[in-house]
Amino acid sequence: MLSSDQEDLRLLRESARTLFERAGGSGRARKLRDASGGWDSDMIGELAGAGVFGVTVPEANGGLGMGLAAGGVIAEEVGRVIAPEPVVLTIGLSLGLLRRLRPDHPKMEQLINGETTLAVAWQERGPGGAPADATCRYADGKLTGSKAWVVGAAGSHGFLVVAGGQNGPVLVLTEATADGLSVDKRVQADGSSLGELSFSGTPAEQLAEGSAVQDALAEAISDVTALAAAELVGLSDRAFEITLDYIKTREQFDKPIGSFQVIQHRAVDLNVMLEVAQACVREVLAQMDCETVPKIRARLASRAKARAVTAAKKITRDAIQLHGAVGYTDEFDIGLYLNRALVLSAWLGDDVYHRRIWLDAREEEGVAQ
């Protein structure tokens, strides 16, 4: 028997899967990639109508209050169809920041209802191309400076920008059409894009300031890191399904290649890796719903991302090999999943980065004891 919470998550998964499949599944992602590399605004409205964006927002703030575990269910279904819409970005970062800092702001309701999309800009690029300390400034109601690696920049209606202010860090809101704002779009391997933002006296509205901004940002990054791990799990699950279907039908020496023992062994290994990653990520999301200590939540998120990235890279790369030469052609969907896995694995840190965070945290615990 399922508990009421488990039953709610099961129904949520079925609803999200039906919605994405009815919209066109992975084929829709291919069409959007070939058209402009953007997303479908009508799909944003459908997702909002199903309550997708408000799953982690408390009921008092207009959401469903189902927690990160529910967000993970949505993220997995997004990964299965490699949907280009900024679902994980909105749930984890945009709403993650606003619900912690300005739950009373009108943009909260607009994001939940799918009336707007907001990208979050908090990173900056140094002279050598590596991440650097923040130099973007906010003073007298205007922004100056630049931000790098902004996911969802192309197509967003506005930006939540973390900048330096007179009394420490500030979170400000600027519209995509604001004067003095330029967006340089950089296409990634999967057809999505990152934005490089430049501000030159760009008008902006201050939402919050002080240490609360950095604290909320760290919490939101932990949330979206764990949700990105769930998206990778969903992606890996579908890539594995596609591969199983292929080896059952592709014949060599008058037999399906799936009948060969060596292929069966590889499939079993991939299945075990997938199930371990899936169990890890779902457990982490459930724990993060109950955990309030920021350091522990960050460590849990790193655990999930490291496990999910390792599994996704292995499964998608082996899937290409098991498809043979046709796996490298754009005609076959498996290549879409590999490219998305590579992009999503790098976002917010890869498996090596997060494994180091996890191990360092465990080492600190050992020293403290």
pLDDT, tens only, 95-131: 999 999 999 999 999 999 999 999 999 999 877 766 7
**Whole-number average pLDDT of the chain:** 92
| Residue bearing the bigger pLDDT, 246 or 227 | 227
- Range of weakest confidence among 54-63, 78-87, 323-332: 323-332
Distances (CA, A) of 134 to 56, 125, 148: 29, 9, 11
pLDDT reading at 210 higher than 70 = yes
What dihedral do alpha carbons 65, 68, 70, 75 form, nearest 10°? Answer: 130
pLDDT reading at 1 higher than 50 = no
Residue with tokens 């002279």: 127
> With pLDDT > 70 as the criterion, what percentage of the chain qualifies?
97
pLDDT at 316: 96
Query: pTM for the full model?
Result: 0.94
pLDDT reading at 267 higher than 80 = yes
pLDDT reading at 62 higher than 80 = yes
Phi, psi for 90 (deg, rounded to 5): -70, -45
| Residue 141, phi-psi category: left (phi > 0), alpha (psi -120 to 50), beta (remainder) | left
pLDDT at 179: 96
Residues in the chain: 369
pLDDT at 364: 77
The C-alpha angle with vertex 237 and arms to 233 and 238, in degrees rounded to 5, equals: 120
pLDDT, tens only, 268-297: 999 999 999 999 999 999 999 999 999 999
Q: Cβ contacts of residue 187 below 8 Å, gap of 6+?
A: 37, 193
DSSP result, 245-301:
HHHHH-EETTEEGGGSHHHHHHHHHHHHHHHHHHHHHHHHHHHHHH---HHHHHHHH
Helix then strand then coil, in percent of the chain rounded to 5, is: 60, 15, 25
Sign of the dihedral through C-alpha 168, 174, 176, 179? negative
- Range of weakest confidence among 7-11, 305-309, 341-345: 7-11
pLDDT reading at 69 higher than 90 = yes
Extended beta strands in 46-192, E state: 118-121, 137-139, 142-151, 158-165, 168-175, 181-187
* Helix 25-35 / helix 4-23 crossing angle, nearest 10 deg: 50
pLDDT, tens only, 133-174: 788 999 999 999 999 999 999 889 999 999 999 889 999 999
Residue 201 CA to residue 97 CA, distance in Å, equals 24
Residue with tokens 């799936």: 258
Amino acid sitting at position 185 = K
Residue 289 CA to residue 178 CA, distance in Å, equals 37
**Nearest C-alpha neighbor of 148 from the set 158, 135, 164, 165:** 135
* Domains, the chain: 4-116 (1.10.540.10), 120-209 (2.40.110.10), 213-368 (1.20.140.10)
pLDDT at 225: 98
pLDDT at 255: 82
**Contact indicator for 281, 225 with CB cutoff of 8 Å:** no
pLDDT reading at 367 higher than 70 = no
pLDDT reading at 50 higher than 80 = yes
pLDDT, tens only, 169-201: 999 999 999 999 999 999 999 989 999 999 999
Exposed / middle / buried, residue 212 (Cβ in 10 Å: 0-12, 13-18, 19+):
middle
- Range of weakest confidence among 130-134, 220-224, 247-251, 350-354: 130-134
Helix, strand or coil, per DSSP, at residue 181: strand
| Residue bearing the bigger pLDDT, 351 or 34 | 351
